[in-house]
Every structure is written in C-alpha cells, then in structure tokens.
Chains A and B, each alone.
Chain A
Amino acid sequence: MIYSIMYGLTIGAVLYLISIGLSLTFGTIRVINFAHTITYTIGAYILAASINELGIHFFWGGVLAVLIAALAGYCIERFVIRRLYGESLDYTFIATFAVFLIGVDIVKWIWGVYPKPLSDPIGMYINFMGSIFPVYRIFVVLFAILVFFGLEIFMRKTMVGKIIVAALDNKEGVRCLGIGVEKYFSIVFILGSALAAAGGVLYAPITSISPYMGMNILLLCFAVVLTGGMGNLRGTFFASFFLGLLMSITGRFWSAGSEIIVFMTMAIVLFFRPIDV
C-alpha cells in the first residue's frame, strides 16, 4: 500500500510538471495544445541519446534535453501557435494535432520506433517502514513540489509573473494597459514546454521511452487540467497528485482500471461543473 502511494506521488509529480504548461497555455492563449507533449517526448529522447551516445552524465543530459525542448517549443509557438491567436478552437486543435503527428514522425525517423529503456540514474534505495523505495522517485516528487513553489513565487513576485496572472484573468484588460501580451504568451509557452521536457527527463528512467509516449500521457494531462480547472495553477497541482494517487491505488486492486478511473473522474467533474469554452 505504501509502495503504491509512493508510486502515485511519482506519477502525480510527472503529471504536474507536464500539465502546468498545458494549463497555462490554455488559460492565456485559449489554445488547447495537442503538441504540448511532443516536447516531453523530445526531452526524453534527447536525454537517452545524450546518455547513450554522447556518454555524458544524467544531469547534463537533462539540462541539454530541457534546453533543446524549449527551443522546439519556441519554434512551435513562432510558426504555428502564433498564427492561431483568436481562431476558433477546432482549427487550433487540428493544427496542434498536426504538429504532434509531425513531431512523432520526426522522432521515429531519427531514433526508430522501438522502445528504449533507461536505467535509474541514482540507483540508491531507501528503507521506509519495511518497504524499499528508489531514492530517485522521492527526488522526482521533491522536484515537482519545488517547481510548484517556484512558480508560485514567480507568479506573485516578479513583474513577468504578475502580467501572466493578470492575463489569465483578463487578457483585454492587460492589453488596455499598453502591455504587449503576445511576448508574455511566448514566455508562457516556452516555460510550459521546458517543464514538460523536464517531466519527460524525470519520467524516462521510470518507464521506457517510445515515440507515442506523448499521446498516452497527454490524455492523462488533459484529464488533470480539466479536473483542476483550466488556467488554475493550484488546482492543477492538487488534481495531478490526486489523480496520480487514484491511479496507483486503483491499479493495485484492479490493474486494468487505473486509467479508466481517471477519465471517469474527469467525466464526473465535467458533468457537475461544465467548462464553457
């Protein structure tokens, strides 16, 4: 039981890192970004490539992966998302899905379709109340909590963060103050992409990486964002850990039901509190 709680917290942490970008992009630009988890896939693959082929340490591989994924995020924002501001949601949806297809195919082109395993970078275990956990997972959870508080401080104390929070609330109002919101939207997008890549980097040693990994986690992230509320930073944090725990605890009793329960929760939440977009 303790083990499955721990596992749930790990999944929740990874889900949080990925969905925060999704939630922010939606809250500001009103674009449902299907291409969001392509940076997660790219991050994981670049980590694997840099460890296996360049032979550098996990940490530097992770930094490299996040940087390259942020660059990819910038390209997506510059060439696709920026053209879609103010368009109807359907078109943005289809366009970002097209970006996702292109990204997956490029990943397949470069690295092949077969899943690649990665080993645990820390390799230490901790004994807690009779159960043995890898230290790495605790590190992942701590990293997510750190990111949460870092984002809270960033959004509250810095000027950029304040503008983003204001734009989440009322975009037109911010624009009326003479602030070019688009620049901040790009910052939000790149930040979200970098965090998603960090999620990919951290999650890669726990599972194996494959070109379609982005699709599987994307659905879970949508569930998290819809449950937590679009553009709601704290809601996303709590929803991701809640759903992560729910998944792992359900998976303990009924292994097939772990993802079903997540979508059922999402459907129930939406049923009682429909989001009008």
Chain B
Amino acid sequence: MENNLNEPRTVSRIFSFWGKQLAKTTGRKRFSELVFLSIVFLLLIPFLGTHRATDFAIFCIFVLSFDLLYGYMGRLSFGHLLYLGVGAYAAGLSLRYITTNPLVAIVIGVLAACVTGMTAGSVAIRATGACFALINLAFNRVGWFLVMSPLKSITGGENGLSIRNLSLGLFDFRDPTFRFLFVLISLIFIFFLLRIITSSSYGVLLRSIKEDEKRVSFLGYNTYFYKWINFVIAASVAGFAGALSALNYGYINPNILDVNANSGVIFACLIGGPGHLYGAIVGGVVYMLITNLLPIYLQRWELFLGVSLLLIVFRFRKGIWGSLENLYKDLATREIANMSSEKGESK
C-alpha cells in the first residue's frame, strides 16, 4: 500500500484511465479494447519479429479457450491440447487431401474439433474436479497414440505433416505480414465472441455453475447441457487456434498433442488470472515470453516453471490481471475518498 502512495501521479492517472476504459463492457466503449489489444501485439513485433508475434497471438487464442473452461466454468482440464491438435491435424490433412482453400481448411479444423469436443465432452462433462481433468488427460493421450501409430500412414506419425497450398487470392498465407494480420483479426474476433458469451446471461449461468452447481440445478437449469455447450465452444475455439497454428508453421508435429505441454496452458491461465479474458491474454504473452526467452539464459527452465507454479498456488492466486484489478480498485476508492474530502474542505 505504501508503494502505491509514493508512485508518480501520472502513472496512476494513466493506469486508472485504462482501467476505466477497460472496465466499461457495454456499447461502443468496447472499441477501446480493440485498440488496446492491437497496440499490445503491434508492440510485440519489433521485439520478436512477425512470426513470433503471430505465434503469441495464436497461443493467446488457445489460452482464451482454456480460460472459458477453467476460469469461467471452474473445470480444470488436463487435456485441452487434444482439441488444438485435432484442429491442426484436420486443417492440415484437409489441405493435403481434400481442398486447396485455406479458409475451408480452417472451417474443417474448427468443425473437427467441435465434433471431437461433442463426443469427448459428453463423457468428460459427467465428472467434476479431478476426474474431469483425468478423463481429459486420458482422451488427450488416446489422441496422441492415434496420431503416432494407427493413423501413421495419413498423419506421418513422428515425422509430422507438412502443408503446401497455402494461398488463395487475397488470402496469401505465405506472407508473414498477412498471417500476422489475419491472426490478430481472428484474436480480436474470438475475444469479442467470448466477451459477448461471458457477459451474457449464459456467462452468468456458467459462473454460477462454478460457484455451486447443485444450486443452479435446483433452480431448474439442466447444468449438464450448459456445461456440454461450454465444453464444445472451448473445444472449437481451441481447434481454431490449432488450424491457425498449422497454417502459421506450414508443418504439424505430434508434439502439439503432447500431454506434458498442458502444464503450459494451465500456467499461462493461472499467471494471467483465471476468469478474466484479459488475464488469459496477459498470461499467454507472459508465458510465451518466459518459454521463448528463459531457456536462453537459464537451462533449468522446467524447474523454474515448477517453482513459480507452486508460488502462484500458495501466494498469488489472482494472477497478474487480478492483482492489477485490485490495484485499480484501490486507486479508484482512494480517488473517490480524495474527491469527497476535497469537497468537504471546500464546503
């Protein structure tokens, strides 16, 4: 608290200005969100290069889909990478065997992830807590096995799958700048979609399921159905991210389905602050920065990841965005207090 008092006035003003802008979720004020997101990712380009920035944006889409499941519905999945992988493989395979149109491939990827989510979700959603996580983990493992051995002749197994035919008219996915813009626009689109979903009455229902599922079902809602719908949405968005990453790399590797990599998403979601869409984006960027830059300086980055996960769980549960929000609330209340005291003095 004392640090806050000493910080420069301008910084706190800018901070509270952005806080106000971002806190407004209705009407045309949402435009400021778009500006905010675009600025963040455009700022990343000079540091990282276009390809990396595209990668970051795709990962953010994926973290958003995970956050819908974990942050909003309170169901921790340890196998969300399955849908990313399904989307990537479906898009890649359709580009290889069926179509030459990358947009159609993206749609096929999303549909494939959606269908997988529907079938796997109908089983997984019956469980709660740890069982839910474990069932998803098992599905993820099964998917990995399917790609690695039985479907080896189609998917290329360990060698991966390379994709050609990336361009169609204006949509030239061979051009990194175009890829970046396309991904950025899709990130903003997904962000708005999820913003609408989570601020609707359906989103409120999801959050109440997180708080207490039994009470929601006492109110007469069929909670299974709503949870299933949410699972399918999260899976489809993840599939979209997968299809985009397939187009971005032009190459798919079975590591995209690796079970161990799920910890990365969970870490990203937690460090950003679960239950906030911005939290997901902040967490995605921070996590990608850590994994991209840290191995250069520090060989034992897995150790670092583990220790920081423990610290998050024990000390820092709200994540970066949650803490920022608290700070903003503190500032806002102090401002109000200042204003009222000033008024009191003038009177």
Contact = CB atoms under 8 A, between A and B. Distances in A.
The answer to whether A and B assemble together is yes
Interface of A: 26, 32, 80, 83, 89-91, 93-95, 97-102, 104-106, 108-109, 212, 215, 219, 222-223, 226, 255-257, 259-260, 263-264, 266-267, 270-271, 274-277
A255 B145 CA distance: 11
B131 A101 contact: no
Given A257-B150, A263-B139, A271-B126, A104 B131 contact: no
B37 to A, nearest CB: 27
B218 interface: no
Q: How would you classify the secondary structure of chain B's contact residues: helix, strand, loop or mixed? A: helix
Given A97-B266, A274-B127, 16 more contacts: A26-B130, A32-B130, A32-B134, A89-B129, A95-B310, A98-B309, A102-B306, A105-B300, A222-B134, A223-B138, A255-B149, A256-B148, A257-B150, A259-B145, A263-B141, A276-B128
List the 9 closest A-B pairs by CB distance, nearest first: A101-B306, A98-B309, A256-B149, A102-B306, A263-B138, A105-B302, A105-B303, A32-B130, A277-B129
B314 interface: yes
B135 interface: yes
A101 B305 contact: yes
B146 interface: yes
Interface residues of B, number: 41
Contacts of A277: 127-131
B219 to A, nearest CB: 20
10 contacts: A83-B314, A94-B270, A95-B309, A99-B310, A259-B141, A259-B145, A264-B142, A266-B135, A267-B135, A270-B123
B300 to A, nearest CB: 6
A98 B128 contact: no
A270 B317 CA distance: 31
Contact of A97 (B134, B148, B149, B263): B263
A219 B141 contact: yes
A150 B270 CA distance: 43
A226 B137 contact: no
Contacts of B131: 226, 270, 274-275, 277
A264 B195 CA distance: 36
A211 to B, nearest CB: 10
B185 interface: no
Contact of B302 (A101, A222, A267, A270): A101
Interface of B: 70, 74, 76, 78, 123, 126-131, 133-135, 137-139, 141-142, 145-146, 148-150, 259-260, 263, 266, 270, 300, 302-303, 305-307, 309-310, 312-314, 317
A64 to B, nearest CB: 25
Contacts of A32: 130, 133-134
A218 to B, nearest CB: 9
Contacts of B123: 267, 270-271
Nearest to B150: A256
B305 to A, nearest CB: 6
Nearest to B260: A215
Nearest to A98: B309
Nearest to B266: A94
A90 B133 CA distance: 9
Contacts of A264: 142
A104 B302 contact: yes
